[in-house]
Amino acid sequence: MAEACQIAKKQDLPPPGGYKPIPYKRIPAKQYFSGYAMFAGYIGMTVGGLYLYNLNYKQIQKHEIEMRSAKMAIYPMLLAERDREFLKQLRRNRDAEAELMRDVPGWEVGTYYGERVYKNIPSDTLVEPIFHEYYAHSDPKEWFKRAYIKLRS
Amino acid sequence: MVVTSDIYLPEESELTVPEVNLSGSTLYAGSFHLGKYCEHANNEFMLCRMEEQDPRKCINEGKAVTACTMEFFRKVKNTCLNEFNQYANCLDKSSGDYSFKFCRNTQGVYDKCMLEKMNIERPSFGYFTEVRVHDTKRPKPPVEPKAVYPDATPALPEDAEKKPSRFGSRFYWMTE
């Protein structure tokens, strides 16, 4: 074992002339803007953006008013047509119900064996039926078309 | 259904009139001049409809509206058909919601024709969204009087003594 330890041992030492000094001095990134300039830039961009936003907002507002105006101009015609068709359909529904319940003794149309749904209003007041009642006697396909109109438009 | 046999519903023949069989883009293209041309009929119908809240009572007004609309589009057909079709086509194909802002050129041509031949000017911006006063001969429907209940809680007499509050108001910074 003693022979094996005769080889010269090379100690790990600093390079000749010593280690270089550790560069601990902070090197900040190059500054393009000062703090005040950045604040000024932020405010300037915000104001500019608000100005452009405002221009666009006014444009959209004008567009919406114009579209609403056109809709309101044709609305009476559409409503008149809708009212006529609605009343026709109510009569069809009532006739269909009378035909369907013809054999049931004691059944009165629009009531539950003579008991009215709305008791405190005059008997000639037209209460618009709910959607499902309105389509009760029609083809289920028509009901689907109206109920899920959003699927097709 | 809630519609009983006591409720009067007009016969189908009473409700059948020639309807306006036109597409959306056509109606939009004619909307402003139509609204101006049929302003009286439209206002009469809408006032009736909103006051009465009953479609049965405004059928004749509604028929007048439809007749006026038909008359307007017939007149347009006889006078400015090409300009109108060009404008309607532009509205139909320029956007999904018939926006007017893409069709100012064709609109100018159409407006000029309408002004020259039918003497209808395009109403000012937002005209139909403004409040308009309408004078009608139809009597106003009676307003339901306020309900009087025999067992209502009696109110203080008129000459009851009303003392000032002892500790001021909770919202003293607003009321004092």
Confidence of residue A99 (pLDDT cuts 50, 70, 90): very high
Could you give the CA distance from residue A51 to residue B11 in angstroms, rounded to a whole number? 60
pLDDT band at B107 (very low <50, low <70, confident <90, very high): very high
Q: Which two tokens stand for residue B152?
A: 């209502």
Closest residue of chain B to A107, computed from CA coordinates? B4
User: With an 8 Å Cβ cutoff, are A91 and B49 in contact?
Assistant: no
Q: What pLDDT is stored for residue A4 in this prediction?
A: 58
- Stretch A55-72: mean pLDDT, rounded? 96
Q: What is the mean pLDDT of residues A126-134?
A: 92
> Of B37, B20, B40, whose CA–CA distance to B121 is shortest?
B37
Q: How confident is the model at residue B176 (pLDDT cuts 50, 70, 90)?
A: low
- Specify the residue for token string 């119908």: B45
Place of tokens 């100690």: A11
What is the mean predicted confidence (pLDDT) over A67-94? 95
> Are B62 and A65 an interchain contact pair (Cβ–Cβ within 8 Å)?
no
**Residue B154 C-alpha, separation from nearest chain A C-alpha, in angstroms:** 26
Distance of CA B26 to the CA centre of its chain: 19
Average pLDDT, integer, range A102-106? 93
Q: What are phi and psi of A49, to 5 degrees?
A: -65, -40
Q: How high is the pLDDT of residue B169?
A: 84
Q: What is the pLDDT of residues B4-35, one digit of tens each?
A: 988 999 999 999 999 999 999 999 999 999 99
How confident is the model over A57-85, as a mean pLDDT?
96
Give how far B12 is from chain A: nearest CA, Å.
Answer: 6
Average pLDDT over residues A113-135: 90
**Distance, CA of A119 to CA of A122 (rounded, Å):** 8
* B15/A80 Cβ within 8 A: no
User: What is the pLDDT, as a whole number, of residue A5?
Assistant: 59
Q: Whole-angstrom Cα distance, residue B17 to residue B14?
A: 8
A116 near B95, Cβ under 8 Å? no
Tokens of A121: 């209003």
Which of A64, A74, A123, A130 is the best residue to mutate to test the B interface, defined by the most B CB atoms within 10 Å of its own CB? A74
Distance CA A142, CA A131 (A): 12
- Give the mean model confidence (pLDDT) for residues A56-78: 96
Nearest CA in chain B to A98: B5
Report chain A residues whose CB lies below 8 A from the CB of B17: 84
Q: What pLDDT does residue A2 have?
A: 58
Q: How confident is the model at residue B1 (pLDDT cuts 50, 70, 90)?
A: confident
Residue B144 pLDDT greater than 90, yes or no: no
State yes or no: pLDDT of B2 exceeds 90: no
Nearest CA in chain A to B65: A77
CA separation for the pair B146, B148 (Å, rounded): 6
* A67 contacts B6? CB cut-off 8 A: no
Residue A61: what pLDDT?
Answer: 96
Residue type for position B73: F
Find chain A residues with C-beta within 8 A of B65's C-beta. Answer: 76-77, 80
Q: Which of B17, B62, B129 sits opposite A69 (nearest CB)?
A: B129
pLDDT, residue A3, reads 59
CA distances from A65 to A59, A69, B168 (A): 10, 6, 49
> pLDDT tens digit string along B63-73?
999 999 999 99
* Cα–Cα dist B129/B106, whole Å: 24
State pLDDT tens for residues B41-56.
999 999 999 999 999 9
Q: What is the ipTM of this complex?
A: 0.85
**Per-residue pLDDT for A1 more than 80?**
no
Question: How much is the pLDDT for A75?
Answer: 96
* Alpha-carbon gap: B28 to the closest alpha carbon of chain A (Å): 6
What residues of B are in contact with residue A81 (Cβ under 8 Å)? Answer: 19-20, 62, 66
Share of chain A above pLDDT 70, in %: 97
Backbone torsions φ then ψ of A112, nearest 5 degrees: -105, 95
pLDDT number for residue B136: 92
Whole-number Cα distances in Å, B72 to A45, B32, B76, B78: 52, 12, 6, 10
